[in-house]
Amino acid sequence: MRAQDGRRAWGIIGLMSQELGSFNDLQRVLIQAHALTDAAEAHGTLVGSLCSTPCSLADWLADILPNGNADPVSAASLRGVFDATSGALGEGMLKFRPLLPTDDESLDDRTAALGEWCQGFLYGLGAGVRPDPDTLKGEAAEILRDITEITHVGVDPADGSESNEQAFAELVEFVRVGVQLLYEQLQPLREPATTARELLH
């Protein structure tokens, strides 16, 4: 497993589950709703928007659906994803996880989905006052740079299957923990007319 600059993957703590539904469930709903993106990028977009703006369900649907509209059944399913994701971020480290394909899918597919999730996250983050990594405080700046690098992640054929699987798990865990930290540090951006400038120096 490699990112564009060949960095090694980060340490793993262990993924926690939550009542978010499956990647395939969201993918089916998005196909039915003629979405502009797939499940990984759509969920990443939601999480990025929740980090940087007081994002609503309507805001998210406007980003991922033609005209921002869905049939009632699809809208109800997407509401469930929105509520579960927003709630998980608000509750902290033990709940949030990026929505990705299961281990039943090939490592190539899972790795591509992780890169797409990170692309969506950066897009969603840009919906608000996206912070410049060079002006963010310490660890948060490094996390944002690394997530940008993960958009280019790929499976290294020179590494063995076990090594690539472990590296992938470490990257997913890094994203999970890093996004939670960014969500907490970017809280002022979600509060209109407050002190967002305190994040920037």
**Residue 190 has what pLDDT?**
75
Neighbour tally for 32: CB within 10 Å: 13
| Contact present, 184 and 137 (Cβ < 8 Å) | no
Per residue in 161-180, pLDDT (tens digit) is 899 999 999 999 999 999 99
Residue 51's pLDDT is: 93
Cα separation, 140 vs 112, whole angstroms: 24
Q: Which pLDDT score, from 0 to 100, does residue 160 have?
A: 87
User: pLDDT at position 77, please?
Assistant: 95
Collect the ranges in the chain with pLDDT lower than 50.
4-18, 193-201
Quote the pTM value.
0.83
User: So what's the pLDDT on residue 95?
Assistant: 86
CATH class of 23-199: mainly alpha
The pair of three-digit structure tokens given for residue 117, joined into one six-digit string: 């999730």
pLDDT attached to residue 141 = 86
Q: What region does 68 belong to: left with phi over 0, alpha with psi -120 to 50, or beta?
A: left
pLDDT for position 13: 28
* Domain coordinates in residue numbering, the chain: 23-199
| Distance (Å, whole) CA 100 – CA 92 | 19
Which of 128, 100, 126, 127 has the alpha carbon at shortest distance from 115? 100
